[in-house]
Chain A
Amino acid sequence: MTESVKPVASTWCAGCGDFGVLAAVKKAAAELKIAPHDEVLVGGIGCSGGIHNFLETNGIHALHGRLLAQAIGVKLANPQLTVIAAGGDGDGYAIGMGHFIHAFKKNASILYIVMNNETYGLTKGQPSPTARLGYEGNIENPFDSILTALSIPSHNFIARTFSGDPKTMTAVLVEALKFNRDGKGFAFVEDLSPCVTYNDTFKEWREKVTDVAKLPGYDPTDRKAMFRLCLETMESGKIPIGIMHRPANGEGAADSLELKLLPDRTGPARADITLEGNRAAYDKLLQRLT
């Protein structure tokens, strides 16, 4: 056996919500028997983004806000890899917002987990885009990722989970990863992942989270219905969690970016680039010049 990199012990504060995500990602990968060398974890910048160091898998630490662009690059270069991007709410919804919106539209089969703690943990507690009014002097309205995600017409998997409920979270991640591995497209999971140091919302969130699947009218294939359901839940002072959207059976079956580009899943990283293997094709290409 060739010795290579091993996970390090986590550096998170005791009780940090991100531990729930770490545990759930491990369990989901194990359940799906994903070989560690075939998995890539793209971490954002923030406390949450350090997760790739704590997992027995390949990791790449992206720039702040750019993890989705890098993760999509990885997936398109080698569609056979399981690609998980994971970072914070500041990373994803502030500095990375442009890529966030475009990721739904692009629809590459990667899983994106945002650990939402309504704050910037690593830089010590400034308001993030999801921070509520009044938090650390915040006077801007909080952003809601699920409503935004539901508004983008694309064949994505959209869900919200809660770190305080790792069992449900694991189940959702398994579904999301299956969606990816079937080449169906982008899976987005926002995990409510409290920052116990700068914004401890554990107790409040435990009381407020509401599983949408148990609400009347739940139908994750119907965006309109889910938008209304989520909005009404929020208006009643609760936080909707659960699978918010997945395409109906058969819908958007091969709508993922990588399958549109690379139907046989052999991507740029696995292409034959030897001169011998391409001699005839290169000659033809150069002959196109006149």
Chain B
Amino acid sequence: MTTPAARTTPFVAEASPAKEVPSKELTDVAVMIGGQGGDGTLTVSDQLGRYFRKRGLHVYSCRNVLSRIRGGHADASVRACRAPTAAMKPEVDLLLAFDEEAIEIGLAELASDGLVMYDSTSFQSKVPNSFGFPFAMTAGSQLGRPIYKNTIAYGAISVLMGFDPVVARSVLEEKFGKRGGEALEKNLKAFELGRAAALERPELARRWTVLDGDAHGWVLTTGNQAAALGFVVGGGRFFAGYPITPATEIMEYLARYLPAFHGVVRQAEDELAAVNMIIGAAYAGARVMTSTSGPGLSLMTEGIGHAATAEIPIVVADCQRVGPSTGEPTRHEQSDLSHLANLGHGEYPRFILAPGTVDDCFHMTADALNLAERWRLPVILLLDQALCQNTVTTKPFEMTGVAVDRSNFLTSGDVANLPKYAAYQLSENGRSPYAPPGTPGVLAQITGNEHNEMGHVSVNPVNRVKMMRKRMEKMVHARNELPGPHLFGDASARVGLIGYGSTFGPIREAQAELAEGGVPTRFYQARTLFPVPVDTLGKFLDEVDVAYVVEHNYTGQFARLIREALPHHHAKLRSILKYDGFSFRSPEIVRVLRGGPA
């Protein structure tokens, strides 16, 4: 791009650069792409991710966008490595910057031996190890539209990282081939322009070689997509929601998936309607879910309490973001747990499940439907922005482990054999089988008012006590059915880590780093948060001297719940907290365990 010749010769032959530096081999590489919203930072991240996947590498990518469509700084990061990962690399190796602000912001993430590639169309950077290319100018003058700067940059990176050009091109062919004609042709041209420009810089060309991996056949997904799929296979057929970041994609995926299964997805007029629509549908016998985030959760709170008292099985996915109020819509936090554990006025049972990986999202959403229906209560699926929206490669989801348990559901055949059907029949464990409306021969009255076994309003004090116990003790009787923890690390370690949700990835990486440094740890990945799993967590705490609860909030919400449930372990618990809107990076955890400041 620096000489007119290069500009007019898009397809240059493979030329060996004059003074080639020996290529450095990488097994774990991260690239951050920054610019203005609308610059298409995601495009480059996507193209790189596709290339890496073709090389059998595991990919993890995240984005940092503002809650608007155009303008404002935006960046995307993509990591590729040979080992499975569920976290962003602590430092990025390459920063691709489309403007000066992106350099300023990105430098904080850049490794000390990292490189910067930037668009020199309108400025020159003095940052060491930075390489300017007039991406936008070239795109404008050669291809007629500045937006092709993305693919030009992709071409330049492909040279830096020693990509196989045929494979790198095939990414574009697959991506733009469908749109045919011009889009593909221009992108291929852009790619070659980028390659040619980079090949002219011997200090850049093939500086790195990213080694291939063996993760072939793995699929790329997000927690939101996995939850949507888990909902379908778990028999979920009715979904109502109201758009809110970072929960919306669950609704969008289900709008695509469910119609083929006699399923219904509705965008409601607000969260009050959404939660009440699923309550109505669940009452009618469908398996249901809604998804929301902080502000919507607040509006749904009345409905969730109603479902618990009326014993209507609903699943609510809370895709946490920075709160309270509108907070930071696109940023990450885990600060709804205290609210959820105490959700609503009055007292009622609820289960709070927290998937930590996309695989958990898939399986635990299906589990949540079974648990809600078996116990006739609200189940909260507690997700977080990073888990919901970051993309990650995973083994294809398997149906093994997925079950559809309708044992609490009465068919017309079942009820015909009963002398009496009472929708709120008292029982040992608080469970009462349910026959939905339309079941011949029986009727039911369902209400959020206190009621007797038949569902008639009752303020009888003896009945009140019985009904309270029936509902509340579900949390005791169901304990063994709730998803158990996953335990990782050294089972004899005296130092424990406790986490849930997307902290799974950073904690696992921190464990590996600590183990290398001679600090063995064990990790309790909590998958049921409420009721607090006192048996497994108590045993875990019995066996360690100290346990760090890693979470994204100010007050240490899970640690507080644990202290309340297991007060004798109070002194062992420490908190590692982060609430700046971004996910943990493993060194932030490692540092604390090595005695640094929390």
Contacts and interface: CB of A to CB of B under 8 A. Distances in A.
A286 interface: yes
A270 B409 CA distance: 13
A274 B261 CA distance: 11
Nearest to B449: A61
Contacts of B262: 262, 266-268, 270-272
Contacts of A73: 238, 240, 276-284, 288
Nearest to B398: A286
B447 A273 contact: no
Interface in B377-421: 396-397, 399, 402-404, 406, 415-416, 418-421
A286 B436 CA distance: 30
A274 B409 CA distance: 13
Nearest to B240: A73
Contact of B446 (A39, A60, A268, A289): A60
Contacts of A76: 238, 264, 266, 277, 281
Interface in A221-252: none
Nearest to A258: B264
A77 B415 CA distance: 21
A5 B261 contact: no
A271 B276 contact: no
Contact of A58 (B288, B302, B415, B444): B444
A51 to B, nearest CB: 12
A65 B273 CA distance: 10
A286 B284 contact: no
A98 B271 CA distance: 11
A140 interface: no
A269 B406 CA distance: 12
B285 A77 contact: yes
Nearest to B274: A69
A70 B278 CA distance: 7
A62, A102, A273, most chain B CB atoms within 10 A: A273
Contact of B444 (A3, A4, A78, A274): A4
B260 A281 contact: yes
B454 interface: yes
B263 interface: yes
A78 B284 contact: yes
B438 A37 contact: yes
Taking residues whose C-beta sits less than 8 angstroms from the other chain, chain B's interface range is 35 or more
Contacts of B445: 5, 52-53, 58-61
A273 B369 CA distance: 12
A268 B263 CA distance: 5
B579 interface: no
B204 interface: no
A66 interface: yes
B235 A58 contact: no
B281 A269 contact: yes
Of A42, A98, A262, A269, which is in contact with the most chain B CB atoms at under 10 Å from its CB?
A269
B261 A271 contact: yes
B397 A5 contact: no
Given A40-B437, A77-B285, A289-B219, A8 B456 contact: yes
Given A63-B276, A274-B404, A289-B220, A78 B437 contact: yes
A52 B397 CA distance: 45
Contact of B276 (A4, A70, A81): A70
Contacts of A62: 276, 279-280
Contacts of B418: 2
A161 to B, nearest CB: 25
B221 interface: yes
B178 to A, nearest CB: 14
B415 A2 contact: yes
Given A73-B283, A282-B399, A286-B229, A59 B257 contact: no
A66 B457 CA distance: 19
B438 A2 contact: no
Nearest to B455: A5
Contacts of A1: 441
Given A273-B237, A282-B399, A98 B273 contact: yes
B303 interface: yes
Contacts of A270: 262, 285
A62 B272 CA distance: 12
Given A2-B441, A99-B269, A289-B397, A74 B260 contact: no
A4 to B, nearest CB: 4
Contact of B454 (A5, A63, A273, A281): A5
Contacts of A289: 219-221, 225, 229, 396-397
Nearest to A70: B280
8 smallest beta-carbon distances between A and B, as pairs: A73-B280, A273-B235, A268-B237, A69-B276, A268-B286, A70-B280, A269-B285, A271-B262
13 contacts: A5-B422, A5-B444, A38-B438, A39-B437, A53-B445, A57-B443, A63-B303, A66-B276, A76-B281, A267-B284, A273-B287, A275-B403, A285-B232
Given A72-B280, A77-B238, A81-B438, 14 more contacts: A2-B421, A3-B420, A35-B440, A69-B276, A69-B280, A74-B281, A74-B283, A76-B277, A77-B237, A77-B284, A77-B285, A99-B272, A275-B233, A275-B399
